[in-house]
Each structure stands twice: as structure tokens, then as C-alpha cells.
């Protein structure tokens, strides 16, 4: 069993966009080639030659009228397995209960399979509509020829073609075989989005029943006959390796099948593997390992030293000059490393047999796992088969695939025996690819009218990973001559993609500082921000400034759209009402993945410093909403994720290792801290969908922090909030 190399993209001409074929049993097969987002948030994990990969998906219409979509992207709760077939069903005029979807394994026929950057729905919306409309047009033509009437006299409804003049109708299944013999139309008419019946409605997730009944969907659920279980122990200090280990003693423990050191494999962090008859036995035996580590130079790294280096960078940068007569405002903001803390720990199952490595993996980027195995173990890509399972949380963590190479290396040594590798929870935290820490040293100037006349940000973060700042986004594009100076800290701490990369920390800092400037100017923060939006060059022109970038995900920043969501959020939240001391409202905005989001937070803070978030009100312009249920859940979940991280979470580095290695010292938001009201409002739109899984996260934390200031007068400039004293008299 093998698949060709994913580095070879299909070569297509314009008419190759749609492919029609006959299925066994008289069905119709429609293949459509399309992009899964113009730019990947995980571009580093893909070969340079396939930066603009064009993936492929297939629609099949069976003789019984059932429509099936193979979903090439991983499902991790973002709803792609539901949203994509909804797009097909809408253009096909097929009843939703006749649509099914199957998860696609890694296959170059699907192109670049990456569930990243909130790109699955916006990247596929147009092409999937085209595929559905093409199939519908061919079914109409098949019916017209069958009846000997013009196709223009035929319509479609509920999975059937109708000829109303004669009262005749034929189901899609009855027409599929004939449709498969027809030429592909060069151009087809798409529905007017105003006529959509399915898109924008509430549709349950296609896996919901399987999830609640405990069916084996996730990577950690996989079982194979004769399977053994593995744990893999790495040096706690990043960059360290094994000097010696008591593997011979561990091999003698009950239930242990093998124990050995893995080193010298390209891309593999050295460590000790333990293989046993169950995951529990493997974990228990791994805890009895006595390993002498060569910790390497990474042991000298620590969060305190990083903070001193960052401060030195900030002091060395003089910043933009504040004009004479203007008031200088300076502030330093810091956010820590964050773990992904996925509830399903990293895992993968592999079987090496007859020269083929077959893998079952919960991965966001299956090609990255395949590539790490081919490069590390010297296998051909055609001999590394990746089955994609459902993910128990991703948030960017499962874009890198260390677990794939680890289990493959173990399985190759145990040829013929399937191996499931599961990371201990402590290892999951200790060997994450963290959200980078970051520092923003802001300097601004306010003139006598409270207008921002200078803005500078000296930004510092860990090298590697996303999150760099530029001066092209809001609010920097509103202040002529504004500057962003970026600096990097060197070291071995691994960083990577964390939900809403870059924006998750940078939006908190910049939106908090804008609020700080508003109060320093003595102005209402929303009025102050609206003034900044009006100052963006080209703000009054249709479409906004062509070159302004308001956030990750591409697309020109349109101030009018941001203004609209902000005004509506203020209205929905009752902004401006008089509140007693200890109660406050705050807001923040973001342009992330080309969506526009405004969040207003209502909080109370007791005199003893106990924070309660009473309500979050969000307004989102994300273009056309495909599945309202999933869209609401994504925005609600993103906001709660954002406040959880800002309120409680941090990873600190001590002697080159993570100090927090489990949920007892890395707490997640619990129900007693969650706001009792979370309101999500969508701007009604027929524009193509934007990203939606991530944009709700960045503005939640600054909205909370700005509300805390309004309630107490205390400004949160260092996260997490739980580390700050919120008491007031």
C-alpha cells in the first residue's frame, strides 16, 4: 500500500478544474481542484516547491441519490467536515440528510492537506460551489435529454430535477449514470447567495453522534491486532540528549517488551523508548528509567534572563521622536510562553511491514508527518501511508509532527508489530512548541487635542515561530511616521503556531495600549478608536486602503468594516452606561484571518481583588456564515480560550526546562470563572466567508484587561492576570 510523493502537485488546465467520471453501480463522480487558503500559517512545514498547492476533493452521487464528500482537511472541532459538504449540498439542491462525508487520508490527489490558518472554509467556498453547480447542471442536462425538453425548462429541488410544465421529475440517483456520460460545461451559473436555503442555518456536526456514543474517532482510540504500546522520554532541558540509561533493568520489568535509546536520526530528538503491553505499563516503566542527560548549553536559559535581555533591547531603541509640545506616553507590556494543552495528548500509531510505514495520526498537516518520517528514516514518500484521524484539539500544536517520527522509529525497530505511542501529560507540556513570549515597549505622543502624533513599538520575542510585528496594521497605519522595531532572543526553546498566531499576544498589547492612550487623552476609548480608524489613509474610499494590513490572514484592511462591528458591539453591550467603582466595561478589536471582530467585556472586581467576567459581547464580520451553529461555537470557544490563557496560564523556563508540566500548575478556565453570558452577533453578509476559528480569540484578553482598568484603575501590563494584585480601596 503506497501513495505518491505529496511534493508533486497535479498539473491542471482550466477545463481540468472539474472532472466527471462514472462510479461502479451507475453513480456520478465529480472531482474539483481547489485551494485550501491562499497562504498557510504553517508554510514552514511544507516544501518550498508547494507553497501554493492546489488540493483536490471528490463528490460522489450514488444511484440512491446519496452525495458523499471526501474531506481532505483534518477535523479538530472547527466544523470543516460539516461546512464543506453544506456548500456542496446548497449548490446541488440536495437534501442535507442525503449528504455524507468521509475523512480523506493523505493523498497527493487532494493536494496540500493542512487544517491551519482558519482556511478550510474560505479556501474551498468558491471551488466547492463551482463543483456543486457543475454537477447540478449536468444532472439537469441529463434529465432534459431523457425527456426531450430544453434544459432551461428544468429546475432542481430536494435532490431531483423537475419539469414543472409536464409534472415530471427524476431523482439525482436516477440521472447519475447518464450525467456521467455528458461533456463538462465550460461555464455554469451559481446560485444567488440571497437564495441560499441551507447555508447560514444551524446544522449539527457530522461526528456529533459518534462523539457522544464514544466511537473510536480520535488518534488515541486506534487499536490494531497484536498492538504494543510505547512511551518516549526526552531530556527536560531543550537541546539535551542521552548520555546513559538503565534500559537493561527496565526491560526486565513486568509487561515490558523492550527499551532502547534512539539517537542519530535526522529530525528526531534523542530519547529513550519503552515498549510494553499497555500504555499504563509503558508509562510506569518509563518512570523507572534512570537516565544521565547531557543537558547541553540550553541549561543556562531562563525566563528571568530573557526578561533582562528584552529590557536591554527596549532601552537600546530610542524610538520615534515625540514632537515638541506633545505629551509622551510610555508603557511596557509582556506576555509569557504558552502551551497548547490539548486534551488529547500527542499520539500516533504505526506499523512497519514489507518496507511500508503505515500510520494513524491526529495531525493538522499530514504531509509534515510523512515528510519527517521519509527524511528521518530514509523511506520513500510512496512507502509512508498516513491515515488521518479526528483530533482532540489542535490549535497549531499538531501541525508539527514529532510524534510521527518517534513512533515510526520505534515501529521500524519492531518490524511487523503495530505500535501506539502516547505522550505522558508531563511530556506534552514539557516538550511543546510554545506560543512565544513577547515584550512591547511602547512610546507615543499626544498633542494638546488628544490626538496621537507619534507611535513607536520596540518589540521583542523568541526567535523562530510566528508572531513578528510590522507597522502596517492598525493602529500603526493610523499614525504617520509610526515605527515598529523588532528584535529576537536566541536560544533553544521551541516555539510554534498557537491559535491566532502572532495576533494572540500582539493584539492584547496594542489594544491595551490604545485604551491607555484614550484614557491619557481624557477621551472615551471607543470614540478615540473610531478617530484612529478615520485617520487610516484611504479610510473614506470604497474598499479602504489597498496596502494596509490589519491582521494575519491577508486581505486589505477596510476601516469602515472595523468601524461597523465596533459601533454595533457598543450598541449591543450598552456601552457608556454609568457604573459604580468595581464594575467596568472594556473593548478591543482585531482584523484576523480577514475577519473583523469587536469584543466588549463587562467585569466586576471586588475590593479584595476577585475578578468576575459578567458578559462578553462580540460582533463579527466574517462574510457569509456557512453553519450558524458551528460559527457561534467557534467564536464563543475562541473568546473563552483567549481569556483562559490571559487569566491563568504561563510557561516559565527554569534552567532550560519548562517549570509547568501539568494542569495543576497550568490551569484552564473552569465553569465558575466563565462568563454567564457570551453573546455573538454576525454582520449579515453574502460576501465569501473569511476565517472564523481564530479571530474571536485576540480581542478577548485586551477587552477584559481594559474593563479591569475601568473598574479599578489598575492597568494590566503583564500576563497572566492571576499573577496581578487587583485589590482596590
The per-residue pLDDT for 44 is 28
User: Is position 328 within any domain?
Assistant: no
Domain count along the chain: 3
The per-residue pLDDT for 2 is 32
With beta carbons less than 8 A apart as the criterion, state whether 397 and 41 touch.
no
User: Is position 302 within any domain?
Assistant: no
User: Is position 431 within any domain?
Assistant: no
115/158 same-domain check: yes
Beta bridge partners of 647: none
229/182 same-domain check: no
The per-residue pLDDT for 27 is 53
> Is the pTM of the predicted complex or chain greater than 0.95?
no
* CA end-to-end span of the chain: 71
The per-residue pLDDT for 471 is 79
152/233 same-domain check: no
530/636 same-domain check: yes
The per-residue pLDDT for 21 is 46
User: Is position 577 within any domain?
Assistant: yes
163/40 same-domain check: yes
183/243 same-domain check: no
Q: Which of 77, 493, 423, 462 lies closest to 229, judged by CA?
A: 423
The per-residue pLDDT for 107 is 82
Which parts of the chain have pLDDT scores under 50?
1-25, 32-57, 543-554
User: Is position 495 within any domain?
Assistant: no
407/556 same-domain check: no
87/108 same-domain check: yes
Tally of CB atoms within 10 A around 171:
18
Q: In whole angstroms, how far apart are CA 193 and each of 170, 197, 429?
A: 25, 9, 45
Tally of CB atoms within 10 A around 667:
16
Domain boundary among 192, 212, 232: 212
49/189 same-domain check: yes
Domain boundary among 212, 247, 270: 212
- What is the rounded distance in angstroms from the CA atom of residue 177 to the CA atom of residue 610? 67
User: Is position 452 within any domain?
Assistant: no
The per-residue pLDDT for 15 is 32
Q: Helix/strand/coil (H, E, C) string of 628-672?
A: HHHHHHHHHHHHHHHHHHHHHCCECEECCEECCCCCCCCCCCCCC
User: Is position 326 within any domain?
Assistant: no
User: Is position 50 within any domain?
Assistant: yes
The per-residue pLDDT for 438 is 97
206/253 same-domain check: no
Domain CATH code at residue 639: 3.30.365.10
- What is the rounded distance in angstroms from the CA atom of residue 468 to the CA atom of residue 250? 45
Domain span including residue 47: 14-212
184/258 same-domain check: no
pLDDT digits (tens, 9 = 90+) for 366-399: 999 999 999 999 999 999 999 999 999 999 999 9
Domain boundary among 160, 188, 212: 212
The per-residue pLDDT for 115 is 85
208/226 same-domain check: no
Amino acid at each position: 500500500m503506497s501513495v505518491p510523493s505529496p511534493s508533486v502537485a497535479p498539473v491542471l488546465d482550466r477545463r481540468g478544474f472539474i472532472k466527471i467520471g462514472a462510479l461502479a453501480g451507475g453513480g456520478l463522480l465529480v472531482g474539483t481542484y481547489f485551494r485550501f487558503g491562499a497562504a498557510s500559517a504553517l508554510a514552514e512545514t511544507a516544501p518550498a516547491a508547494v507553497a501554493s498547492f492546489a488540493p483536490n476533493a471528490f463528490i460522489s452521487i450514488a444511484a440512491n441519490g446519496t452525495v458523499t464528500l471526501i474531506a481532505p482537511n483534518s477535523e479538530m472541532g472547527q466544523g470543516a467536515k460539516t461546512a464543506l459538504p453544506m456548500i456542496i449540498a446548497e449548490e446541488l439542491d440536495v437534501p442535507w440528510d442525503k449528504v455524507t462525508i468521509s475523512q480523506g487520508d493523505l493523498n497527493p490527489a487532494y493536494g496540500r492537506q493542512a487544517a491551519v490558518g482558519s482556511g478550510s472554509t474560505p479556501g474551498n467556498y468558491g471551488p466547492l460551489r463551482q463543483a456543486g453547480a457543475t454537477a447540478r447542471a449536468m444532472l439537469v442536462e441529463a434529465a432534459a435529454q431523457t425527456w426531450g425538453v430544453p434544459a432551461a425548462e428544468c429546475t432542481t429541488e430536494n435532490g431531483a430535477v423537475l419539469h414543472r410544465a409536464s409534472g415530471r421529475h427524476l431523482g439525482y440517483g436516477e440521472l447519475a449514470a447518464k450525467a456521467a456520460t455528458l461533456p463538462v460545461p465550460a461555464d455554469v451559473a451559481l446560485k444567488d447567495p440571497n437564495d441560499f436555503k441551507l447555508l447560514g442555518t444551524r446544522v449539527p456536526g457530522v461526528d456529533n453522534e459518534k462523539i457522544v456514543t464514544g466511537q473510536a474517532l480520535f488518534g488515541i482510540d486506534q487499536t490494531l491486532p497484536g498492538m504494543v504500546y510505547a512511551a518516549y522520554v526526552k531530556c527536560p532541558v531543550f537541546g539535551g540528549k542521552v548520555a546513559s540509561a538503565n534500559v537493561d533493568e527496565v526491560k526486565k520489568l513486568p509487561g515490558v517488551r523492550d527499551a532502547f535509546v534512539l539517537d542519530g536520526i535526522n529530525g528526531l530528538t534523542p530519547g529513550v523508548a519503552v515498549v510494553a503491553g499497555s500504555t499504563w505499563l509503558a508509562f510506569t516503566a518509563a518512570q523507572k528509567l534512570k537516565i544521565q542527560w547531557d543537558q547541553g548549553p540550553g541549561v543556562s536559559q531562563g525566563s528571568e534572563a530573557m526578561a533582562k535581555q528584552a529590557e536591554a533591547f527596549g532601552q537600546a531603541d530610542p524610538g520615534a521622536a515625540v514632537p515638541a509640545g506633545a505629551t509622551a506616553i510610555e508603557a511596557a507590556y509582556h506576555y509569557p510562553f504558552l502551551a497548547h494543552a490539548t486534551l488529547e495528548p500527542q499520539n500516533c500509531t504505526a506499523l512497519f511491514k514489507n518496507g511500508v510505514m503505515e500510520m494513524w495520526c491526529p495531525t493538522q498537516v499530514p504531509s509534515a508527518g510523512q515528510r519527517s518520517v521519509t527524511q528521518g528514516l530514509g523511506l520513500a514518500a510512496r512507502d509512508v501511508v498516513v491515515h488521518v484521524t479526528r483530533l482532540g484539539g489542535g490549535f497549531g500544536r499538531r501541525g508539527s509532527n514529532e510524534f510521527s517520527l518517534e513512533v515510526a522509529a520505534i515501529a521500524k525497530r519492531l518490524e511487523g508489530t503495530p505500535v501506539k505511542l502516547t505522550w505522558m501529560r508531563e511530556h506534552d507540556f514539557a516538550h511543546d512548541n510554545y506560543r512565544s513570549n513577547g515584550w512591547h515597549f511602547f512610546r507615543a505622543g499626544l498633542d494638546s487635542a488628544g490626538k496621537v502624533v507619534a507611535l513607536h513599538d520596540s518589540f521583542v520575542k523568541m526567535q523562530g515561530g510566528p508572531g513578528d510585528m510590522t507597522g502596517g496594521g492598525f493602529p500603526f497605519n493610523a499614525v504617520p511616521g509610526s515605527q515598529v522595531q523588532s528584535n529576537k532572543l536566541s536560544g533553544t526553546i521551541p516555539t510554534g503556531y498557537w491559535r491566532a498566531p502572532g495576533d494572540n499576544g500582539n493584539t492584547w498589547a496594542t489594544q491595551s495600549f490604545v485604551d491607555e492612550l484614550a484614557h491619557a487623552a481624557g477621551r472615551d476609548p471607543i470614540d478615540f478608536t473610531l478617530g484612529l480608524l478615520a485617520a487610516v489613509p484611504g479610510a473614506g474610499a470604497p474598499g479602504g486602503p489597498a496596502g494596509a494590513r490589519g491582521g494575519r490572514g491577508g486581505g486589505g484592511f477596510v476601516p469602515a468594516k472595523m468601524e461597523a462591528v465596533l459601533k454595533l458591539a457598543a450598541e449591543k453591550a450598552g456601552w457608556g452606561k454609568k457604573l459604580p467603582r468595581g464594575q467596568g466595561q472594556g473593548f478591543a478589536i482585531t482584523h484576523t484571518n480577514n475577519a473583523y471582530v469587536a469584543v466588549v467585556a463587562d467585569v466586576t472586581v471586588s475590593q479584595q481583588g476577585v475578578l468576575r467576567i459578567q458578559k462578553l459581547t462580540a460582533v463579527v464580520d466574517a462574510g457569509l456564515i456557512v453553519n450558524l451553529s458551528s460559527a457561534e461555537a467557534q467564536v464563543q470557544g475562541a473568546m473563552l480560550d483567549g481569556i483562559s490563557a490571559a487569566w491563568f496560564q504561563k510557561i516559565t523556563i527554569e534552567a532550560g526546562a519548562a517549570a509547568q508540566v501539568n494542569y495543576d500548575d497550568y490551569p484552564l478556565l473552569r465553569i465558575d470563572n466563565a462568563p454567564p453570558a457570551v453573546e455573538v452577533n454576525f454582520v449579515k453578509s453574502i460576501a465569501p466567508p473569511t476565517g472564523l476559528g481564530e479571530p474571536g480569540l485576540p480581542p478577548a484578553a485586551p477587552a477584559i484587561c481594559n474593563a479591569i482598568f475601568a473598574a479599578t484603575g489598575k492597568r494590566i501590563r503583564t500576563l497572566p492576570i492571576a499573577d496581578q494584585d487587583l485589590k482596590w480601596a
